[in-house]
Each structure stands twice: as structure tokens, then as C-alpha cells.
Structure 1
């Protein structure tokens, strides 16, 4: 059945999310417009925009460099919106890299919430962590475990996002070879892995909790048939989703209440989203051994566990205070020192994560000489307004571009560091050498 939305876009284009507070959205949009970008609101979320004019690659924009936007296919934005976690809540993202949905979840739960992003591949884990750091998402912690063996307490999570490895048929327009690589029997190991992940995620879900299952494939075996498996074998209950505006939808037998994006007519990836509720009578509270056909799922590369860090030392928040760091802006949680690295551990992490589990909090910077040297991209803890004695405020994108390209700039500022601003938008931290600015972003 065709359930078309007349508001669907007529032509393909790039979409992105604004990564900032509502009060900063006009400032970020102003920075984009100052570089010649034009865009329009997406109808399904106030955070999302659709690009109309791109004078240079959007990823090379200043807004992207400073982590104020995240480029993301519009279909990929739907799973976090379908899960719809409450502000201040905690969410588990089972297969997280590169962090598109992890980051959106962090926006939705807000600074007092918590998102654990797990990525089985060590190589992809590095990408996840780099993206979360660039986006200044302090409420995100990361770990690397096989998703079907995440060492978390059964029944401890109220909200789980599961976007497992899939055949990717919905991306065929951009990646035509996926239809050659994933056909016939080659898809069966993926189906088996998805079921293992669904089974374990269900065991981690608290009674009354919600789980969103999504893929970027159009394959029924990985979509509608997995929904039937989750209901019949795991005891989950389907929660009907209201179609989001701006898309054209398809509905196949067995997919009632789920969302299947018609990629071509929606100017997006083909995508599938299903939402489940775990009743108190669910049968999959304890993981069961996988049947032989599911026992050896394909690995996504890398080792399952990270090297265990030495026990950290807790730092008082006032130890972080400086011209580029206001510790009062930290969310609830602890500040820990591991070697010379200062990391933030969200409050709910202590409640939800077992003591012997290996994971990592957000990087704040390095501690040396009795003080914090904030990470250059740490704008989340900059004072809310620039101070004339400690801030470098630039008025044009060209000035910023020149600074980032290595050109020096003389100022009257004193000390060893300064906060960098574009007009009234905080960007990060720069070093000072006898009043001369040195921009060392990495």
C-alpha cells in the first residue's frame, strides 16, 4: 500500500542537524549564510535542515569544523525521533558508529541525560569518539563490545536504539555495489546477527521500556520478518508509529505500524524503522544460546574490548576553572583524571554501567601544572558571553578561515589562552604567545 506524503521533497539534497541550543540556532544559521549556504527547515524536527545551495562542500564549512552541524541523511534522522527519549533520560545505542543517531539521541536527552554508544569495531570506535568530541556531546560515553554480548545488567535500560549491520539496499543509489555484495545466501549471516542483537537488546530492556529497530535496507528478511521474530520469539509488542511529514512511505504485508521510507520519492535513503515496547510478560529477559545457524555472525572488525585504564582520580570541579572553562556548565556527573587526561563521567553512568565494565567518558582536556588545559574544541564549557580580557571575537568568516589556515594574529590579550568567538557564537580555545594567537585545532 502506498501511503504517500505530499510534502515530500521533489529532488535529492543534503540534510544536516544543528548541534546547539535553541538560542544558538540563529547564530549558527547566520554563520552558514555568511559563507553562502542556503537551507530550509525539515518538517519533522526543529533541529534538522535541508541544504538548498552549497557553494563549497558542507563538510568544509566553519559550522561543520566547529561541530555546530552534523551532516546526515534525512532518513537516518528518524530512529531517534521514533524512540523519542525524554529529556534527562538514558539511552543505549548498541551499534553506534559513526555516531549520527548517537549524537541525535544526546541532543534529545539533553545535558542532564546519558547516552552509551557501543561500537564493536575498534577502527569505527575511533570515528565515533572523534565525532562525539567534535560535537561537544558531554553526555555521551563510549565502549567497544560485541553488541550481542554487551556486559550490561539485564533489564536495566528504559530506551534502546538498535541499528544493526544490514545489507544496505536502501543506499543503492549512492552505492550500487551493495546489491551485488548482498544477495541470496550472503544475507543470511546478517539476518542471524540481527536476531542475536535483537535478543540481547531485549534482555537489556527494562519492562515497560522502548526499543527502536532500524535498517538502511529494503530487504523484507531484515525488516518486516525481523519484526515478526521480535514479537513471536522475544515477546516484544509493536508500537505503531505515526508517519513523519516530509517523506513518502510504503507499507508491505506484516509491516503495519512500522515505517518504510520510499527512498527515491523521499529524496533520501531507503530506510526502515520499527518501535517496540517490552511488556512485563516478555519471555526474553535472559539471553538464550543462539541456534547453530546464528552462532557465528560476521564480525565488523577489530577487537571486542579496549585496554583497561588505570583507576582514575576524581577532580573537584573548581580545579577546572579558567578563562576557557566554566565548570558550572558541566552536567551532573564526575570529573576524573586518567594519567594526564581529564574526562567527564555522566551521573547515570555510575548507576547503569557495571563496575568492571570498560568504557570511556568525554574528553575535557589535559591536566598539567596544576590546571586544566581544555581541549581546543571544548566550546560547551566556554562562558556564555565573551569577556573583553579573555576572548578573541572575530566578525567575519574570512578572519576565521585565515586563522585556521595558519596565519597569525596579534591581539592585546594576556595570558596563555583565550576563548575564540565568531560574533556572539563560542567556538573553542586558542593559545596565546605574547599576545599572538596560535590556533591549534585537531
Structure 2
């Protein structure tokens, strides 16, 4: 076994990503610092930070509540960085919940891109959708299918992320019994599922497209041996990865050009990342017919189940969305469609990549009633770029913001029924007004 030394921060604290524009990053950091958090940059991405001091759980911070940060193990941040999708491109994430990598991919492709996050477990699908909603990632669509049966057109995706179910040996410090639970023959069903997923992912990949395969295990049967399977059986080409700074790496025979994180010495999970490219000569060897639907439920197109009252309604013109808490000019290319009374955003590339009868869901914008949009309280990315004195409340103290979130109302001079809430230069969301008193209900 070969070990590669890189500089690893002395801190063993947790890591997180900033979910904001470069211009907003200093304001998000200021909000964290105002609540007593201290952190430092991660060396492998300008979007990532390492926590140094945590006066209260980071998940309870205001920045986390409003979706400006996402807590994530530092090793888990590597697969999207290894895939490195271009801005404006589209990516398929086959096993997506809770959304750590899905969200990072959405940041990398930007608001003009498209990420389809598939979660095979219906129980975990709600977590994925809730996280993407809080993070205000309008470029993400979600669906729930068995990953090896995703009903997508062969050869249609330029970039695919596959982080399949695995034995999780790399999480042994958090889950001490994991290696006891997944030993010997118990691992074989996982290995078989990973190969089914790899085969189908290869069939969906366009010629010249890139596929990242990653796990949070240190088991060679789920890592290096799967790389050999992808090369020998599926015809994929291994693309050597340059080690990211800030980690200590191991290398096992057969793992050349892949990345194996030494979790203990990297103050992170043990992790494995491999990158492949589909050559033109491999198209016929892995192509599969488009899977057909086998369930009896009616399909869903971008919203809830298509039924008597939930069939897609009309497309909403963008001017119909305008209001004090929504600037429709900030929407990326795509359509806004009604599903019942819900307005959902469908990215432009979705129409090209997804079959018309496929069940999936676009990002929620809010409810459309009485001829107007009532934006979702957490929809901050469509707030006007500057707070308007007549329609926005700007708070300066984290304590005032915490009081509002705890159920207290604030007296304002604002009129109307709704207003935009800001903390200094950060837009936060939509709040209700009644006779000038502001109340917040963020769900």
C-alpha cells in the first residue's frame, strides 16, 4: 500500500459549503461570525470551509436555516469536484439523497444548468427534496426510480454521478459496528447492485461523456475491483485524477489514477473516487433499450402525481409571477407550470433529456391563487436584488432574526400582506404582514 502525504488542516472540525454567489459569500460568513462561529477555507475548493469553533450546533445556525450553508463531510465533497461539470451543463445523480453531492453539482453547473437527482428510496426522497428547497436550487429536478431501471434515453447524458449503496467501511469512526455488519458474503449483494448501477449508468452516458463512481467504503471489492469491471466489461476508460490538496491518500494495486482517502489521517471519512470516460467504440457494448414503466401509478411530470386535479395546467407567463417578493427576471431559462395550485420551475434542459411520461418533480416556487403567485417563504433567490424601503424589512442583529423565527412578531411601518426579509445585505425570504406587524412562517 502506498501513502501520499498532503497538507491536512490541524483542525478536526466539520466542513460545510457556502451556497451563495461570490458577492454574497462575505455576508454569509459575517452572519456566521455574528453568531460566534469560526472557520477557515478548505484548500480544495473556494466554496468549502472547515469549522474551527462551534458555539452551538452548526445545523442550528441562521446561515443553515436559510440555506446559505450545507454541512457535508469533506471527503463527500470530492466526487462533484472530480466530475467537474461545466457551467450550464446537465448532470444525472443516480443515488442522490440526502442531496449533498446533488446540491454541489447544482452549484457547479449554475442556475442555467440542470441536475436530475434520483433517489430510489421513497422514504429518503422527501429529505432530498426538502434539502434542495431550503438550498434554493432551482436547477434541480428530482425523481424516484430504481437506479438500474431509470427510464432515460441511452447515450443522452454528458455527465453522471454514481455514489451507490455501499458497506460504509469509511464511516467506521462514526459507526463502529459497520465493519462487523458488512463482512464476507453480506457484501456480495451490494457488489452486485453496484455493477447493475454501473452498467445502466454506462448505457445512459453519451459518447465522450464522463462518469464519477464513488463510495464511502474502504473495501477493495466495492472500489478497485469495480473499476476493473467498468473497464473490462463496460468498455469505460479510466481518467486519472489529480489528488486534491488537504487529504492523505492511499493507493492499492489496481487503483492507479483513482483517489482513496485515508480517513483517519485526513480528518474525514474514508472515501473512494474514480473517473471514467465513455469512448465512441463502447456505445454498442453497453447500450440498453429504454426501460418501460412497470408501476400502475399515473406518471408525474414535474409536479405531484398526475390525477384528476393534479394534471399540469397552463404555463404561467413570467409577468404573472411579479410581486414584492418575486422578481421573475431572475429566473433561469425554463418554464413555470401549474400543478394544481403549485407553481413549479422546469429547467430548459429537462425537456430535452427527460421522456414526456417520466415521473419527476421540478423546484417549488409557491402557490398560485387569486391570479397571483404567493412565493414559498424560503424562496430567496427570486427576491429583488436590493431591498426596497416600502416592501422589505432589513434586520441588523442576529438576535432580532432569532426572535422572529421563534414566533415573535415585529412592528414595522410596512403596508400590504407580505414583505421581503433581509439580514443586512442578504435576502432571506418572504414573511407575512398584518397591520404592519411582521410574522415568519418558514416551512
Q: Do both proteins adopt the same fold according to a TM-score greater than 0.5, normalized to the shorter chain?
A: yes
Determine helix, strand or coil for the equivalent of 2:24.
Answer: helix
Determine helix, strand or coil for the equivalent of 1:348.
Answer: helix
Structure 2 equivalent of residue 184 of structure 1: 184
In structure 2, list runs of 5 or more residues that go unmatched.
Answer: 290-296
Taking the aligned partners of 1:264 and 1:287, their CA distance within structure 2 comes to: 41
Structure 1 equivalent of residue 202 of structure 2: 202
Structure 1 equivalent of residue 133 of structure 2: 133
Q: Report the Cα offset of residue 284 of structure 1.
A: 3.5
Q: 1:388 to 1:346 in 2, by over 3 A?
A: same
Matches within 5 A, 1:395-410: 395-410=396-411
1:108-162 deviations in Å (ceiling 9; x for gaps): 0001000000001111000000000000000000000000000000000000000
Taking the aligned partners of 2:43 and 2:241, their CA distance within structure 1 comes to: 16
Structure 1 equivalent of residue 256 of structure 2: 256
Q: Report the Cα offset of residue 417 of structure 1.
A: 0.3
In structure 1, list runs of 5 or more residues that go unmatched.
Answer: 289-302
Taking the aligned partners of 2:314 and 2:169, their CA distance within structure 1 comes to: 47
Structure 2 equivalent of residue 297 of structure 1: none
Taking the aligned partners of 1:432 and 1:38, their CA distance within structure 2 comes to: 35
**More divergent stretch after superposition (2-11 vs 147-156):** 2-11
Taking the aligned partners of 1:238 and 1:35, their CA distance within structure 2 comes to: 45
Structure 1 equivalent of residue 61 of structure 2: 61
1:287-341 deviations in Å (ceiling 9; x for gaps): 39xxxxxxxxxxxxxx998743513320000000000000000000000011000
Structure 2 equivalent of residue 298 of structure 1: none
What is the Cα-based RMSD across aligned positions, in Å? 1.4
Structure 1 equivalent of residue 25 of structure 2: 25
Q: 1:286 to 1:4 in 2, by over 3 A?
A: same
Taking the aligned partners of 1:10 and 1:182, their CA distance within structure 2 comes to: 32
Taking the aligned partners of 2:84 and 2:213, their CA distance within structure 1 comes to: 13
Structure 1 equivalent of residue 422 of structure 2: 421
Structure 2 equivalent of residue 325 of structure 1: 326
Matches within 5 A, 1:33-432: 33-282=33-282, 283-287=284-288, 307-308=305-306, 309-432=310-433
TM-score normalised to the size of structure 2? 0.95
1:165-184 deviations in Å (ceiling 9; x for gaps): 00000001001121121111
Taking the aligned partners of 1:193 and 1:285, their CA distance within structure 2 comes to: 16
Taking the aligned partners of 1:440 and 1:371, their CA distance within structure 2 comes to: 19
Taking the aligned partners of 1:429 and 1:60, their CA distance within structure 2 comes to: 20
Determine helix, strand or coil for the equivalent of 1:234.
Answer: coil
Taking the aligned partners of 1:402 and 1:75, their CA distance within structure 2 comes to: 36
Taking the aligned partners of 2:266 and 2:2, their CA distance within structure 1 comes to: 13
Taking the aligned partners of 2:253 and 2:375, their CA distance within structure 1 comes to: 54
Determine helix, strand or coil for the equivalent of 2:281.
Answer: coil
Q: Report the Cα offset of residue 11 of structure 1.
A: 4.3
Give the number of aligned pairs.
429
Q: Report the Cα offset of residue 5 of structure 1.
A: 3.0
Taking the aligned partners of 2:33 and 2:89, their CA distance within structure 1 comes to: 34
Any conservation in 2 of the 1:145–1:304 contact (CA below 8 Å)? no
